[in-house]
Amino acid sequence: MSTYGFLVDLGLCISCSACEAACKTWNNVPTGRNVRWRRVIDQVIGVWPQVSAYGVSMACNHCADASCVKACPSGALAVRAADGIVLLDKAKCIGCRYCESVCPYGAPQYDATEKKMSKCTMCVDRIDAGKQPACADTCPTGALQFGKLVDLDRKGVKQIPNFAEPSYTNPSIRFVPKEG
């Protein structure tokens, strides 16, 4: 069902957080509000002296089998049939936080100011206008890419260390592992 997704090249991500800034700017999320729809997570794997570190740009993975949609009692979360984008209707949201508790990626976030949930929209307004999401458009190294999931499947893998088992939700994200 999902037609769009993200590809994160772990060898190219420099943890600069330009994607985070672009997301907040495009979506008018005030600085200081504890809502981060896109965030860079620094990962360290291995055992000394063979340690590897890399940045992972994460947001909502717009899962084909989204646990957040299933958990929402008010129908505020839904998958857009045309392209698999998971959208939140804030007018229907009751702020119960059930979606937050079941998402293995931490995508739905409680906005204490609005007393409602919030989440990445994959910049649906930009996609509908024929543009890329702001985060991917801004990435200076090309580590964060956006495209049709069928194309991203050929470029990346579904699983990396410390990432939730993909078979649970079928996320629309792929990774190019870091070499070395």
The C-alpha torsion from 133 through 19 and 53 to 149, rounded to 10°, is 0
pLDDT for the residue 115: 95
pLDDT in tens, 55-103: 999 999 999 999 999 999 999 999 999 999 999 999 999 999 999 999 9
Q: pLDDT-derived band of residue 180, with 50, 70 and 90 as boundaries?
A: low
pLDDT in tens, 1-59: 568 999 999 999 999 999 999 999 999 988 788 899 999 999 888 888 888 888 999 99
Domain that holds residue 54: 4-176
Give the count of domains, the chain.
1
Distance (Å) of CA 21 to CA 15, 17, 18: 12, 6, 5
Sign of the four-CA dihedral 172, 177, 8, 34: positive
> What is the Cα–Cα distance from 109 to 148, expressed in whole angstroms?
26
> What is the Cα–Cα distance from 60 to 69, expressed in whole angstroms?
12
pLDDT for the residue 2: 63
Alpha carbon 123 to chain centroid, angstroms: 11
Residue 50 is part of a domain; what is its CATH number? 3.30.70.20
Q: What share of the chain is helix, strand, coil (3-state, %, to 5)?
A: 20, 25, 55
